[in-house]
């Protein structure tokens, strides 16, 4: 009978399993990890777009950055519309956030005995706003991830909005 080396060691140790001590991860400098991220970004860029381009006097770095931002913008917009409204074939169905919120509103309206049109309208508005926020958050994540993948650097999306409460209401 042929025994593997691991099994032989187990038998010779008297059938006891030794616990391994956890090893500390080696510390790496921030500059080193940033350089590695940039190199990974250049590699993924080359596989997607081909050789590093030099357009109309742009340097390689700026051309990579522009192409990466453009691709990140495209993918994030696709993600936004897909999560908010769904695909072309399935607009407003349960695959989209807006469709899910409308279904919840419809179930709530059918369950209630008598609901005014204004309440239904406000419920739909509230659901649409929640769906928009969810889709926008997913869009921001995709933009940052794609940009990180292709350029090696991160940037907040230029279309990201920050809500701030006002001290006094605006008088129209």
**Average pLDDT score over residue span 17-28:** 70
Comparing 86 with 145, which gets the higher pLDDT? 145
Which pLDDT belongs to residue 42? Answer: 72
**128 burial via Cβ count (<10 Å: 0-12, 13-18, 19+):** middle
| pLDDT band at residue 160 under the 50/70/90 scheme | low
Give the residue among 76, 66, 73, 131 at the shortest CA–CA distance from 99: 131
What pLDDT, in 10s, does the model give residues 67-126? Answer: 788 888 888 888 888 888 877 666 656 778 888 888 888 888 888 888 888 988 888 888
In angstroms, the CA 97 to CA 132 distance is 8
Which pLDDT belongs to residue 112? Answer: 82
In angstroms, the CA 5 to CA 55 distance is 59
| pLDDT band at residue 17 under the 50/70/90 scheme | low
| pLDDT band at residue 64 under the 50/70/90 scheme | confident
**Residues with Cβ < 8 Å from 84, sequence gap 6 or more?**
96, 97, 98, 131, 132, 135
**Poorest-pLDDT segment among 13-17, 115-119, 146-150, 160-164:** 160-164
Mean pLDDT of the chain: 76
pTM, two decimals, is 0.59
**Residues with Cβ < 8 Å from 6, sequence gap 6 or more?**
none
Q: Above 70 in pLDDT, residue 131?
A: yes
């Amino acid at each position: 009978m042929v025994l593997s080396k691991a099994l032989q060691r187990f038998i010779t140790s008297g059938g006891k399993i030794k616990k391994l001590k956890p090893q500390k991860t080696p510390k790496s400098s921030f500059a080193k990890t940033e350089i590695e991220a940039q190199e990974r970004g250049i590699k993924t860029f080359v596989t997607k777009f081909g050789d590093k381009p030099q357009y109309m006097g742009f340097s390689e770095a700026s051309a990579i950055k522009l192409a990466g931002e453009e691709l990140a913008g495209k993918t994030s917009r696709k993600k936004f519309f897909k999560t908010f409204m769904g695909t072309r074939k399935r607009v407003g169905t349960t695959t989209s956030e807006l469709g899910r919120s409308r279904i919840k509103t419809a179930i709530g309206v059918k369950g209630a005995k008598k609901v005014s049109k204004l309440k239904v309208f406000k419920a739909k508005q509230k659901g649409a706003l929640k769906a928009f926020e969810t889709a926008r958050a997913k869009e921001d994540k995709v933009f940052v991830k794609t940009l990180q993948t292709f350029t090696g650097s991160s940037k907040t999306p230029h279309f990201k909005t920050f809500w701030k409460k006002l001290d006094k209401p605006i008088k129209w």
